[in-house]
């Protein structure tokens, strides 16, 4: 545009050219020179303009490249953020899914725990009720057995001395209640009558184990008295079995002279030590102590 204005102003300032046929021979070189100058100036101006324009274009291109790089960087950054966001979203989704699964599993476990706790509570309640019922039943049985022991003690006590023990009752059949001839284990008729009365009372009750204990005085050797005590205890047992006592619930044991009631050597003391004892153990309340 600058060249066009320059060329137009140059031609507008000059007067109209005369026809070439009218130029003199001396003016033609001058005109040519002027034309060459104008052409050179125009060319220079065009070159300068092109250079300026090229620099501007280069600057614009550089700016464009920078902006493109910035845009590309921003796009890459945006892509990275988008990728990270997508990955984070996937992780979040996975985490949510895992959390949901964990929540569901926890709820199931909690429900199972509640069910188990409820079942345990019900079992505990049942066990407590059974325990209370068992205790009540045991107390009922204990009272019944206690009443039965009292009845037996009263009934047997009318025949011979009968005392309570931790296990039941013990009847003491000394020489006043049952007598044996010297050095013998044979029951006398009066002894049989007394033992029949005892058997009749024992047959009215159940849940007992009976042990007949034989004792002697201190006259004679230990071996002799041991054998004699066993024979006398066996004689009493045999008669009680004949009277109806089951042989499975009655046993014997001889003590010889090892367990005297009175540790004296007088005739009275020896008469008390020559005795038979009948031990009655309540097998319902003391089943662990039942002789095998």
Residue 7 pLDDT greater than 90, yes or no: no
- Give backbone dihedrals phi and psi of 266, rounded to 5 degrees, phi first: -80, 160
Give pLDDT, residue 292. Answer: 45
pLDDT above 50 (res 225): yes
The H or E element containing residue 161 is: strand 161-164
CATH of the domain at 284: 3.30.1330.60
Q: Convert the pLDDT of each residue in 67-123 to its tens digit.
A: 777 777 777 777 788 777 778 778 878 888 888 899 898 999 999 999 999 999 999
pTM for the full predicted model: 0.57
- In a domain, residue 32? The reply is no
Residue 86: inside a domain:
no
**Residue 255 belongs to what domain range?**
141-289
**Domain contains 133:** no
* Residue whose pair of structure tokens reads 């300068």 in the numeric block: 48
Token duo for residue 265: 């050597």
Does residue 58 form part of some domain?
Answer: no
Measure the N-to-C terminal CA separation of the chain; round to a whole number of Å: 140
Q: Report pLDDT for 72.
A: 72
Cα distances (angstroms) measured from residue 288 to each of 66, 216, 254, 292? 105, 30, 22, 10
Q: Would you say residue 195 lies in a domain? A: yes
Is 214 a member of any domain?
A: yes
Pairing mode, strands 208-215 and 250-254? parallel
Question: Residue 249 and residue 209: Cα distance in Å, rounded?
Answer: 5
Higher pLDDT, 217 or 66: 217
For residues 239 and 195, what is the distance between their CA atoms, to the nearest angstrom? 7
- Which of the pair, 4 or 91, is modelled with greater confidence? 91
**pLDDT by residue (tens digit) across 226-239?**
999 999 999 999 99
Nearest to 173 by CA among 186, 149, 191: 191
* 11 is a domain residue: no
């Amino acid at each position: 545009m600058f060249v066009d204005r320059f060329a137009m102003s140059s031609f507008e300032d000059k007067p109209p050219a005369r026809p070439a046929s009218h130029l003199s021979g001396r003016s033609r070189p001058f005109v040519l020179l002027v034309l060459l100058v104008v052409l050179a100036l125009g060319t220079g101006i065009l070159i300068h303009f092109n250079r300026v324009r090229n620099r501007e274009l280069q600057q614009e291109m550089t700016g464009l490249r920078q902006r493109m790089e910035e845009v590309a960087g921003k796009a890459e950054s945006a892509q990275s953020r988008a990728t990270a966001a997508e990955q984070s979203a996937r992780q979040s989704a996975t985490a949510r899914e895992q959390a949901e699964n964990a929540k569901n599993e926890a709820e199931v476990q909690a429900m199972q725990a509640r069910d188990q706790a409820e079942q345990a509570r019900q079992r505990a309640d049942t066990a407590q009720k059974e325990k209370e019922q068992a205790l009540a039943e045991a107390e009922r049985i204990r009272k019944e057995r206690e009443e039965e022991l009292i009845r037996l003690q009263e009934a047997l006590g009318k025949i011979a001395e009968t005392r309570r023990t931790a296990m039941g009752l013990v009847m003491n059949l000394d020489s006043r209640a049952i007598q044996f001839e010297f050095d013998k284990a044979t029951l006398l008729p009066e002894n049989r009558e007394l033992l029949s009365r005892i058997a009749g009372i024992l047959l009215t009750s159940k849940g007992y184990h009976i042990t007949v204990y034989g004792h002697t005085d201190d006259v004679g050797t230990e071996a002799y008295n041991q054998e004699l005590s066993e024979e006398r205890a066996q004689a009493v047992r045999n008669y009680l079995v004949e009277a109806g006592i089951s042989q499975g619930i009655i046993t014997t044991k001889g003590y010889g002279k090892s367990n005297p009631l009175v540790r004296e050597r007088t005739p009275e003391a020896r008469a008390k030590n020559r005795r038979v004892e009948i031990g009655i153990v309540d097998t319902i309340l003391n089943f662990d102590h039942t002789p095998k």
